[in-house]
Chains A and B, each alone.
Chain A
Amino acid sequence: MKNNQTSAGGNGQAAVKPKKVKYKSGHSSMTKRSLRKWAWLFIGPVFASFIIGFLWPFAQGIYLSFCGKFNIISSARLQGLENYFKAFSDETFLHSFLFTAAFAIISVVLINVLAFAIAYALTQGVKGSNLFRTIFFMPNLIGGIVLGYLWSMIFDGLLDIFTTQNLVDNATFGFWGLIILLLWQQVGYMMIIYIAGLQAVSDDMIEAAKIDGATKSQTLFRVIIPNVMPSITICTFLTLTNSFKLYDQNLALTGGKPARLTEMLALNISNGYSNMATRGMAQAKAVIFFILVAALGIAQLVATRKREVQQ
């Protein structure tokens, strides 16, 4: 390996570069100046498409949420806060909010507990751990739409055996169907993060706890879990925002049926855009949704960071 590096031309040359501390500041500003001449090429394409793909639509979105009825954007006229009042008094929106919140709480708890349990089991030196890890992670890569149809087939097949109802006939089935689907998809992803966290806990510490007479569960709750707190923070944050932003799976599995009872926030907003009469309201809902997602993320980060420090 070492031999290789010294004989390989490019790598070796880069590695033995002379130190030029003295000229550093002067020279780096020179490269900076010559780099600036190329700004149009380096940053231009991304900046232009960032404006097209994000900034301009985002600004327009904020503007439209204050506008009256519109079909195309140029026909929109400012109207004030009416869209927001409408959004807050829209029953389907409130229902989808409660549905999403309940869904998020249950899925965050279940995903994290299961992912941690599997990660813990897989880091005990059990035979076949790598194969198991590969299998658990796999569903994560399947896209939401395909996943939704795959599971709607499976659920309908299962429900055929026990009831006469389909998944889309019963909101309770829809709710738990979505939970199972999301578990199947995301447990493997979070498991990978937990495995990385668990592997970073030093064996010495666990050994020391054992010598001090700690039982297995004491070691787990007093030593291991406090030490993987950063992973728990990340996973909770990820699952929470994922659950709140869930769209594809919701559309493909239940499509909001029956009677918009299984509509989550994103789907509720998205459906509002298709009708000119509710378009402004949908845009206002989207602004509320955006603030909610952003605030949730910040609140959660602050809360879990605090706990880390205490421990």
Chain B
Amino acid sequence: MGKQQTLKQEKARKTIMSIILGIICLIYMMPIITILINTFKDAGAVKGNLFALPNGESFVGFDNYVTGMTAGSFPFWKAVLFNIVITVLSAFLILLFCSMAAWYVARVNSLFCKIFYYLCVFSMVVPFQMVQFTLSKTADSLKLNTPWTIPVVYLGFGAGLAIFMFVGFAKSIPIEIEEAASIDGCGPLRTYFMVVFPMLKPTLISVGILEIMWVWNDYLLPSLVLDLAKYRNIPMHIQLTTTGSYGQMNLGAMMAMIFLSIVPIIIFYLVCQKYIIKGVAAGAVKG
């Protein structure tokens, strides 16, 4: 009897906790929901009361999205395209070359490799401000200042974390498999691409997600390197339009732009959620 009662209590407690957590979640989502609501209001209504729902007068349908995407001398859709180009190229370069270098470091393990590895680890604790000025000058003089070439800078600055994670994993792969491949007549290149690369898949996914999130959201590096009249990524564009130094934008359209820059991230998150959460948990354990 007593046991049944505690069970009942336990169940009631869990339901209450579920409700409380649900309410907290709803509050947690409020900022994004507020922005979403405001994307359907005209500029005056956004300025008037941010938390009011659109009414017959202030409701503008999808006008804000159209203006937000196309307004200004540098339309937002171009920034989105450049963002995609930079992110895809950078992630590709980092995944391909860092995994190759990490395998080399793990297997050859010469003095040069050790020094390189520790330099990579070292680079992870260096704040960007340390190289801010000099890196932008170096990138400029090497013509690494277009969306097509800036991935080289990302490869260099992002190498630290990627190498660190890949080396950790490559060392745990049994060497016998590679030996078997080379006895069967595979050269290093084929051994790498046919045997090692497929085995690196879990790490490729977690490093890929980390680098994609970093490059997609990065503001400082592209803003220092890219010529903002010709090229912008999303954070640069948001920063430039909101500070108003390059033409004021209507607030409703601004809301639509902010919302549109969140949407791809949320979609990416919902699609890759399993890997993202696993990657966070696994990456943290390694420290």
Interface of B is mostly: helix
Nearest CB in chain B: distance from A142 CB, A: 6
> In the assembly, what is the distance between CA of A293 and CA of B126, in Å?
8
A53 touches B153 (CB 8 A): yes
A193 touches B108 (CB 8 A): no
Count the A-B residue pairs with Cβ separation under 8 angstroms: how many? 296
For B21, give its contact among A51, A58, A132, A290 (CB under 8 Å). A132
B21 touches A248 (CB 8 A): no
Nearest CB in chain B: distance from A228 CB, A: 12
Interface size class of A (residues with CB under 8 A): 35 or more
A54 touches B131 (CB 8 A): yes
For B14, give its contact among A27, A39, A127, A153 (CB under 8 Å). A127
For B104, give its contact among A43, A58, A133 (CB under 8 Å). A43
For B133, give its contact among A55, A61, A245 (CB under 8 Å). A61
Across the interface, name the chain B residue whose C-beta is closest to A51: B156
- B29 close to chain A: CB less than 8 A: yes
Q: Mark B84-109, 1 if CB is under 8 A from A, else 0.
A: 00000000010001101101110110
- A277 close to chain B: CB less than 8 A: no
B188 touches A141 (CB 8 A): no
Restricting to B229-270, which residues have a CB under 8 Å from any CB of A? 234-235, 238-239, 242-243, 254-255, 258, 261-262, 265-266, 268-270
Interface size class of B (residues with CB under 8 A): 35 or more
Which chain A residues border B29 with CB–CB below 8 Å? 135
> In the assembly, what is the distance between CA of A29 and CA of B49, in Å?
72
A31 touches B188 (CB 8 A): yes
Which segment, of B63-71, B200-208, B212-220, faces chain A?
Answer: B212-220
Query: Could you list 6 further interchain pairs (A-B, Cβ under 8 angstroms) beyond the known A133-B277, A157-B50?
Result: A43-B100, A64-B133, A125-B14, A154-B50, A193-B280, A248-B219
B residues touching A (Cβ–Cβ < 8 Å)?
A: 14-15, 17-18, 21-22, 25, 28-29, 31-32, 34-35, 38, 49-51, 93, 97-98, 100-101, 103-105, 107-108, 113, 116, 119-120, 123, 125-135, 137-139, 142, 144, 152-160, 163, 175-180, 182-183, 187-189, 191-192, 195, 198, 213, 216-220, 234-235, 238-239, 242-243, 254-255, 258, 261-262, 265-266, 268-270, 273, 276-277, 280-281, 284-285, 287
Of all A-B residue pairs in the complex, the 9 with the closest CB atoms, nearest first, are A53-B156, A143-B217, A157-B50, A49-B156, A57-B134, A196-B281, A57-B131, A145-B235, A42-B104
A-B contact list, 12 entries, CB within 8 Å: A24-B179, A27-B182, A34-B182, A36-B108, A43-B104, A61-B133, A126-B17, A126-B18, A146-B217, A230-B285, A266-B129, A293-B127
